[in-house]
Every structure is written in structure tokens, then in C-alpha cells.
Chains A and B, each alone.
Chain A
Amino acid sequence: AQSVTQLDSQVPVFEEAPVELRCNYSSSVSVYLFWYVQYPNQGLQLLLKYLSGSTLVKGINGFEAEFNKSQTSFHLRKPSVHISDTAEYFCAVRNYGGSQGNLIFGKGTKLSVKP
């Protein structure tokens, strides 16, 4: 079975500062990895995904993430955050090549960007 651990439940940061949201996963099989963002009172939006290939993945809104297989991590980074990045961020995994497509989510990290 897979599991996802987001190491920080809340991350406060000042505007224009860099940020890293940490995600570790556990799985006995290969997985696909995802980051989703949830703005207040809205649904989930895909930020980026790792399926295969380059371990550095670029997503929307200036976010990127790096897949590290040896450390089973998929940390999300942004070099300079804006107030509008305030949201909750979820890391998720899916079985690689599996017949079931359901996502397994971490508990989420609330990013709070202060002026």
C-alpha cells in the first residue's frame, strides 16, 4: 500500500521569499507523483506531475518539484512567492501502470504568504 507524508502542516513565509513544501512517499511499487493546490473555498487544481523522464518537473505558477527516488521524496519549490500563492497544497501518488487510478493524498500543507 502507498502512503504520503507531508512533513509540515503549515508554512508561513514572507512575500518574495523562496519556499519548499516537503513530501515523502512510501510504496512497494513505482508511482506517479502529483502536487495539487486548493485555494480557499475551491476545488483541487493540478500544479505539476511526475510520470517519467527528467526528475525536475516544472508546473504552473512558477512552481517546480524534484523527484528523488532514493529518498522517496517529491518536494515542491518556488523561488519567490506571492500573496496569491496562499493556499493549501497536497502531494499525491498513484500506482505506476496500475488498473486503479485513484489518488492517495497527503494531509496537506497550508502555505501562508505574508506581506
Chain B
Amino acid sequence: DSGVTQTPKHLITATGQRVTLRCSPRSGDLSVYWYQQSLDQGLQFLIQYYNGEERAKGNILERFSAQQFPDLHSELNLSSLELGDSALYFCASSVGWGSSYEQYFGPGTRLTVT
């Protein structure tokens, strides 16, 4: 158990809908990362937050957005869902925001768009 929690574990929804994925980092960690794992694209970095502020952006679609709240939990919002958004979404956390800090991964949320 990494100490990172993600809810829900599974999510099934229809095209065009909007969903929110939630992540609670390990106690004491200020940085949160979101990654998407799909069959065709593999594991890709989406976005990073540190102490409530966006720090880095990867291959995140404009239909996707994220935020980190004062209690440090983070939410990833996916809207106008398409079949291709079906994937496993991971959250990771670390103490700091630089590259020397180890990341701990949550168990993931499996999103299925039908």
C-alpha cells in the first residue's frame, strides 16, 4: 500500500458525459501527478500540481482539467468523453515538486467509456 488513494476504482460512463476522478496523496506529500495508461499510448504524464498550484503540463487534452485543493487532494475532470478516453488513470504523489523526489502511485481508476 503506497498511501495514495484514488476513487472510484472503476467508472463506466457514456460518450459525451463528464466524470471526476479523485486522488488523496500520502500524508505530508505536497505534489500530485496525474498519468493516463491506455493500450495505444502507454503511460503518459498529464499534469502536476504542487501545494495547490499547477507546476507542469504534459499531454493533457483541453477537455480535461485538474485542480488541487487546500487539503491537498486533487481531482481530475474529464468532459465530453470519447471512446478513446477509456484508460487507467493513475495519481502519484511526492513530498516536493522537483525531479529528485520519489513518486508513489495510487491503485488507479479504470474509466470505461461506452
CA distance A105 to B103 in the complex (A): 13
The residue among A43, A94, A101 with the most chain B CB atoms within 10 A of its own CB is A101
CA distance A41 to B100 in the complex (A): 28
- Looking at chain A's contact residues, the main secondary structure is loop
The reply to whether the CB of A71 lies closer than 8 angstroms to some CB of chain B is no
Residues of B near A45 (CB, < 8 A) are 2, 105
Known: A43-B90, A44-B105. A101 touches B43 (CB 8 A): no
The reply to whether the CB of B31 lies closer than 8 angstroms to some CB of chain A is yes
What residues of chain B have their CB less than 8 Å away from a CB belonging to chain A?
2, 4, 31, 33, 35, 42-45, 48, 55-56, 58, 90, 92, 94, 96-108
B96 (CB) vs chain A CBs: closest residue: A101
Q: A46-B104, A103-B33 are in contact. List 9 more A-B contacts (CB 8 A).
A: A45-B105, A51-B100, A90-B43, A96-B99, A98-B99, A99-B55, A99-B99, A102-B56, A105-B44
| A-side interface size class | 20 to 34
Residues of A near B92 (CB, < 8 A) are 44
CB pair A100–B105 under 8 Å, yes or no, is no
User: B56 to nearest A CB, angstroms?
Assistant: 4
CB pair B99–A43 under 8 Å, yes or no, is no
